[in-house]
């Protein structure tokens, strides 16, 4: 069967990765979480004092890109986890500290170019479900299926807050809501590759959808493309 590229873009914490993982598993495709790549670069920047008072030291970070080696390894559930210079940092990149600094790091064009090149390399044989902000617009403008996923900020904050608490990560609902609204703003208003719905993307608002309904709707779209 023909393999395709499925691009899932959308706002912060709207369940892109949950959907992307389910679709990848159903099709036997590779799942690529591009947000994890931007988060790992941010973690590297924090650890190496390349962010001062919330502002990345752009020149220093750009010169350090060569020292940032990213890869993915499969966990026991067969799901990819991000590896930064040989260390699995899947858990560390989900902290509120990284969430608070990742958008300013993602604004830097050289960071984007460095990661986009790797994203294209990973998907060169297709059979990939990739989620992010610019996958359908910039990384794969010719992706066979593009989904633009969203939900109301309150619904997203509530889901994200519950997830953090369940994982034992300290968080407050107010901070989570403020963080995702700030990220939405920066991600949608940056000049390089802003978050926006591609003209040919299908809009899916999952505020009132269960995971199963969202999965079924997407699988219908996949089947249509593959038929």
Interface residue list for ligand DC (CB under 6 A): 12, 34-35, 38-39, 102-103, 106, 132-135, 183, 187
Query: Which one, 158 or 224, has the nearer CB to ligand DC?
Result: 158
To the nearest whole angstrom, how small is the minimum distance from the Cβ of residue 49 to ligand DC? 21
Quick one: how far is CA 180 from the chain centroid? 13
User: Which letter, b or e, does each residue of 153-189 get, where b requires 16 or more Cβ atoms within 10 Å of its Cβ?
Assistant: bebbbbbbbeebeeeeeebeeebbbebbeebbebbee
Tally DSSP H helices, then E strands, for the chain: 8, 10
Query: Which one, 150 or 223, has the nearer CB to ligand DC?
Result: 150
Query: How many CB atoms are located within 10 Å of the residue 216 CB?
Result: 11
Query: Which one, 12 or 214, has the nearer CB to ligand DC?
Result: 12
Query: Which one, 8 or 27, has the nearer CB to ligand DC?
Result: 8
Query: Which one, 179 or 218, has the nearer CB to ligand DC?
Result: 179
Strand partners, 150: 205
DSSP secondary structure, 90-131, as one string: TTGGGSHHHHHHHHHHHT-HHHHHHHHHHHHHHTTT--EEEE
To the nearest whole angstrom, how small is the minimum distance from the Cβ of residue 102 to ligand DC? 4
How many residues in the chain?
227
To the nearest whole angstrom, how small is the minimum distance from the Cβ of residue 217 to ligand DC? 21
To the nearest whole angstrom, how small is the minimum distance from the Cβ of residue 38 to ligand DC? 4
To the nearest whole angstrom, how small is the minimum distance from the Cβ of residue 13 to ligand DC? 6
């Amino acid at each position: 069967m023909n393999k395709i590229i499925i691009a899932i873009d959308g706002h912060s914490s709207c369940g892109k990765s949950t959907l992307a993982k389910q679709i990848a598993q159903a099709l036997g495709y590779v799942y690529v979480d591009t947000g994890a790549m931007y988060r790992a670069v941010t973690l590297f920047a924090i650890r190496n004092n390349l962010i001062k008072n919330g502002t990345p030291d752009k020149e220093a970070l750009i010169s350090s890109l060569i020292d940032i080696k990213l890869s993915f390894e499969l966990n026991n559930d067969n799901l990819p986890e991000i590896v930064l210079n040989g260390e699995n940092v899947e858990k560390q990149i989900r902290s509120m500290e990284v969430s608070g600094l990742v958008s300013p790091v993602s604004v830097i064009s050289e960071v984007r170019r460095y990661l986009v090149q790797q994203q294209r390399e990973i998907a060169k044989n297709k059979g990939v479900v990739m989620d992010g902000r610019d996958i359908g617009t910039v990384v794969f403008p010719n992706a066979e299926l593009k989904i633009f996923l969203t939900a109301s900020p309150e619904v997203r904050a509530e889901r994200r807050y519950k997830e953090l608490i369940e994982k034992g990560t300290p968080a407050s609902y107010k901070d989570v809501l403020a963080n995702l609204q700030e990220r939405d703003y920066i991600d949608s208003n940056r000049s390089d590759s802003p978050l926006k719905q591609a003209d040919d993307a299908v809009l899916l608002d999952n505020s009132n959808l269960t995971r199963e309904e969202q999965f079924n709707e997407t699988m219908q779209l996949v089947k249509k493309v593959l038929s």
